[in-house]
Structure 1
Amino acid sequence: MTTEPILLPPGRGRPISRSYKVAITLAVAFAVFMASGSMRPFVYQEACQLARWQLQRQLNDWPSIESEHFIVKYQPTDENAAAIVLKAAEKAYSIVTQEVDFVPPGKTLVVVHPTAEELNSAFGWSSQESAVGAYWGGAIRVLSPSAWIGDTSLELVKEIFWAAGPMVHEFTHLVLDYKTAGNYPRWFSEGLAQYLELKHCGTTLSSGFDLHLKQLYSIQELGNFSQLDDELLAYEQALSIVQYLTDIYGPQIIEQIVNSLAQGQSFPRALKTAGIKSPAALEEAWLQWLQLPAGI
């Protein structure tokens, strides 16, 4: 489960306390640890559903709208924005579930925060963070389109929120998380989310970043994704590696890797199952594809 922001410049109501987040995280970790074999995905999904239910209960006094696959919670001032978010969520659902070949259980909860400060507060982020969305614990939180798109026509707001908003990105995180029961490296999830975002929305956080001008992270270093100093570089590398995989092996290799992860294989083993000897071999081949020397 990820709580990292993805983009730009978040609720009245009750933000998630640090103690609550710790309690839910420990509950998920304990449940998954106690589960074994074929039971692990089921237990993980149930733990995520519990976290989602707890959040929905916490926001019980917020207005909501629903569709076939989503429940959107919002503040009264964001009624129009909530409808835009719901429409984008359903559009993202049809894309991501087909791309990842998995349908998450139940309805996904999406919380619309009217200000950046409230979104940041919900996750304990500093005021310097500038996110428009994040996924954590079976639910997606987004910054209201009205808070960052500005005063323009409704149709243009819809277009901008789809192209530059977080729905494809965050829903990809959710679907991958549920399908693999959390069994994936963070950089791979970020790379896949950006890949689908770029493919279907035409833009992403790191598009246009020139890797040839940077001292790159190794794949081993990307394993500590959240602790890396250059966040944009890490995101761009994650996207580039997924682009390399699909360019050389075809999009089916992503399905092969994800299916192996869903079966409980480690990431190195999932690569090997897909025909790639090791993460080191992936790194070397990716650098050659970039026309950069091996040995970062």
Structure 2
Amino acid sequence: MKTIEKYSCLLLLFLILFYGITKNEKQTTLQKLLAYDDINHWNIIEGVHSNVYYQKEKEYAKLIQRQADTYYMMIVKDFKWNKTQKIDFVLFETKETFSSSLLYEEEIPMGVYYNGVIAILSPNLWEEKKEDWQIKEEFLEKGPVVHEMIHFVVDDKTKGKCEQFLSEGIALYYEQKYTNFLWDIKENEKRINITKKQLKENFNQLDSSLAYWKSYEWVKKFVECYGEDVLQEALKQKGEKHY
């Protein structure tokens, strides 16, 4: 193994870093999200490992519930996560309710993990290839559900102490492992050098596509060097630190 690769992996070993989400905090977040649209009644689909809140788009809610329950045990096994709590999803059917509920002023994503709850934007509103999301396989493979579930578990396991770039890299790595889907960038962009310090301190100021890809590369390189068990142990130790 090349010295530089070993050094890069060692650096990443020490990068595993914020606030744990208690049950009460999670419940408060869910209540706040649902309260933003108090005109329309919220329905719920209860799965074995998930709850999906929706208003009219029951079929999409069912897809989210089935996908969440399908991948839940895979994530639990890999992350050695011993919680039995259900993951709450809120399906927003308009961009207005999504942005106002989450106070989102930037470009609206397909999904986002927020303080113990996962918000999903209706596939009818996704900007690219709208027609594809009517196909179950497309939604299961390329939708945001698995990605955001991984953020949920990483945040819980580390008690909120995982840096943003590292959490994104981990989510992309395991998303590819589970669904074989990898969000990609141009080859010439992959050759651009982004340091660990830049990712750690300026993640949101970097070009988003490049920042996400380089974060994925960091995690992939780490796993190649040390394996997933060491990564998971590092996350666990991060959550056990008190400071």
TM-score range, shorter chain: 0.7 to 0.9
Which residue does 2:55 correspond to in 1? Answer: 75
Matched, 1:46 2:23: yes
Q: Label 1:152 to 1:258 Cα distance change in 2 as closer, same or farther (>3 A).
A: closer
Give the number of aligned pairs: 221
Farther-moved stretch of structure 1 (220-229 vs 172-181) = 220-229
Q: What TM-score results when the alignment is normalised by the length of structure 2?
A: 0.79
Pairwise mapping of residues 28-107 of structure 1 onto structure 2 (< 5 A)?
Answer: 44-55=21-32, 58=35, 61-76=41-56, 78-107=57-86
Q: What TM-score results when the alignment is normalised by the length of structure 1?
A: 0.66
**TM-superposition CA deviations, 1:161-195 (whole Å, max 9, x none):** 11110111100010111111101111110000000
SS at match of 1:240: helix
Q: Label 1:141 to 1:217 Cα distance change in 2 as closer, same or farther (>3 A).
A: same
Distance (whole Å) between structure 2 residues aligned to residue 249 and residue 62 of structure 1: 45
Q: What displacement does 1:220 show?
A: 1.6
Q: What displacement does 1:117 show?
A: 4.1
Q: What displacement does 1:210 show?
A: 4.8
Give identity over the alignment, percent: 24
Superposition RMSD in Å: 2.7
* Higher RCO, 1 vs 2 (CA within 8 Å, ≥6 residues apart): 2
SS at match of 1:223: helix
Which residue does 2:230 correspond to in 1? Answer: 253
Distance (whole Å) between structure 1 residues aligned to residue 132 and residue 224 of structure 2: 38
Matched, 1:203 2:200: no
The 8 Å contact of residues 186 and 225 in structure 1, kept in 2 or not, is answered as no
Distance (whole Å) between structure 2 residues aligned to residue 223 and residue 217 of structure 1: 10
Gaps of 5+ in 2: 1-17
Q: What displacement does 1:196 show?
A: 0.6
Q: What displacement does 1:221 show?
A: 1.8
Gaps of 5+ in 1: 1-28, 33-40, 267-296
- Name the amino acid aligned to 2:62: A
Matched, 1:244 2:221: yes
Q: What displacement does 1:100 show?
A: 0.9
The 8 Å contact of residues 132 and 138 in structure 2, kept in 1 or not, is answered as no
Q: Max radius of gyration: which structure? A: 1
Q: What displacement does 1:225 show?
A: 4.6
Which consecutive segments of 4 or more residues in structure 1 shift more than 4 A?
A: 151-154, 207-212
